[in-house]
């Protein structure tokens, strides 16, 4: 290591520690591709920056022992949703136009629905025959129902958010991770949600989320990943199969609460002072902090910590 970087060595080692390696790799891959995509010669890279960063971050994170490698299927589904969403929105209006897409072949709700069904099939056992799929209907139904109840409200709320959308998307991902940490849930949900947040921030900071259609396409994939992560965690908890309430149900609602607060704080943080303090970033971080504080407080009161 060069002598000038010796002072930064502890920070670099912390950044690439096992728990942060996935978010760091996802961030740097997405930011690099998005930065290259700002050049005319490589402009197509901006459209795939978030998808490739997501796969790289999750592959890195799932390479460690103790992580469920089946979750990699969620990354593939979310990345495919981002790419297909970008293709479907090539002819869409810019800057949050209210008119529908010129080609209704793959509207965002339909694309999210396909991602939810694919994720439910995968997390339910990935049966290759009708008999195997029918035999796993209970698990598939739990994932599909939970993902739909979380995903469709998130998508509806995010479609009204003007660009840039990378800050609120990262806040939603971090809120899910914070809620699962608060209830002491193990597994791969927390590191994968953080890797998703890092990827979205990398794509946005690199310059790949400035246009309306790119931000919305990324939002479809992020929402699909968050909804399926939450649905998979609810299924893994096991109590949903017997219709018994569990803390993981409340933790899965953290992204919805964060988005609700974000949309109400944004108009109040549109003044000159708020813009100097960060604008959209501030409006995203405040709901994240409030939801995280509420999650940890509720978990402490319930005796989960």
**Pairwise CA distance, residues 223 & 230, whole Å:** 11
Residue 69 in any domain: the answer is: yes
Cβ proximity of 251 and 183 under 8 Å: yes
pLDDT digits (tens, 9 = 90+) for 215-258: 778 889 999 999 999 998 888 887 777 777 788 888 899 999 99
pLDDT digits (tens, 9 = 90+) for 144-167: 999 999 999 999 998 888 777 888
User: What is the percent of the chain where pLDDT is above 70?
Assistant: 79
Residue 132 in any domain: the answer is: yes
- Position 60 scores a pLDDT of 86
Residue 1: pLDDT band with limits 50, 70, 90? very low
Residue 7 in any domain: the answer is: no
Residue 5: pLDDT band with limits 50, 70, 90? very low
Residue 213 in any domain: the answer is: yes
Residue 3 in any domain: the answer is: no
Is the pLDDT at 119 greater than 70, yes or no? yes
CB-hemisphere CA count at 13 Å for 257?
20
The mean pLDDT value of the chain amounts to 80
- Position 96 scores a pLDDT of 44
Closest C-alpha to 195, from 295, 66, 53? 53
**Pairwise CA distance, residues 27 & 300, whole Å:** 32
Tell me which DSSP letter residue 162 carries. P
Residue 66 in any domain: the answer is: yes
Helix/strand/coil percentages in the chain, nearest 5: 75, 0, 25
Q: Given phi > 0 = left and psi -120 to 50 = alpha, else beta, which region is 186?
A: beta
Structure tokens at 210: 């400035």
Structure tokens at 54: 């997501």
- Position 151 scores a pLDDT of 93
Closest C-alpha to 90, from 209, 210, 213, 207? 213
Task: Give the CA dihedral 163, 167, 173, 177, nearest 10 degrees.
Answer: -170
Closest C-alpha to 34, from 25, 47, 46? 46
How far does Cα 164 stand from its chain's mean position? 15
295 three-state secondary structure: helix
pLDDT digits (tens, 9 = 90+) for 262-298: 988 887 766 554 455 566 788 888 999 999 999 999 8
Residue 1 in any domain: the answer is: no
Q: Residue 225 sits in which domain range? A: 14-266+276-301
pTM over 0.85: no
- As for how many domains the chain has, the answer is 1
- Position 126 scores a pLDDT of 77
Highest mean pLDDT: which of 15-29, 58-72, 100-114, 117-131? 117-131
pLDDT digits (tens, 9 = 90+) for 187-221: 788 888 999 999 999 888 877 555 666 777 888 99
How far does Cα 291 stand from its chain's mean position? 16
Q: How does DSSP assign 80-106, residue by residue?
A: HHHHHHHHHTTTSPSSS--SPPS-TTS
């Amino acid at each position: 290591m060069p002598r000038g970087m010796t002072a930064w060595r502890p920070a670099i080692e912390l950044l690439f520690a096992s728990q942060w390696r996935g978010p760091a790799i996802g961030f740097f891959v997405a930011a690099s591709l998005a930065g290259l995509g700002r050049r005319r010669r490589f402009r197509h890279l901006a459209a795939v920056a978030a998808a490739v960063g997501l796969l790289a971050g999750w592959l890195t994170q799932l390479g460690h022992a103790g992580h469920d490698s089946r979750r990699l299927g969620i990354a593939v589904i979310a990345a495919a949703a981002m790419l297909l969403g970008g293709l479907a929105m090539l002819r869409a209006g810019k800057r949050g136009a209210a008119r529908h897409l010129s080609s209704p072949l793959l509207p965002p709700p339909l694309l999210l629905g396909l991602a939810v069904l694919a994720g439910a099939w995968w997390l339910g056992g990935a049966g290759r025959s009708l008999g195997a799929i029918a035999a796993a209907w209970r698990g598939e139904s739990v994932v599909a129902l939970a993902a739909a109840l979380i995903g469709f409200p998130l998508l509806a709320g995010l479609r009204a958010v003007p660009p840039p959308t990378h800050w609120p998307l990262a806040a939603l991902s971090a809120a899910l991770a914070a809620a699962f940490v608060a209830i002491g849930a193990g597994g791969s949900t927390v590191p994968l949600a953080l890797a998703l947040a890092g990827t979205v921030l990398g794509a946005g900071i690199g310059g790949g989320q400035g246009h309306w259609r790119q931000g919305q396409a990324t939002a479809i994939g992020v929402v699909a990943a968050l909804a399926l992560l939450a649905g998979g965690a609810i299924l893994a908890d096991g109590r949903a199969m017997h219709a018994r309430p569990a803390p993981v149900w409340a933790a899965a609602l953290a992204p919805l609460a964060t988005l609700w607060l974000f949309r109400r704080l944004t108009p109040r943080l549109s003044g000159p002072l708020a813009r100097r303090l960060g604008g959209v970033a501030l409006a995203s971080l405040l709901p994240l902090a409030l939801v995280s504080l509420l999650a940890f407080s509720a978990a402490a009161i319930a005796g989960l910590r």
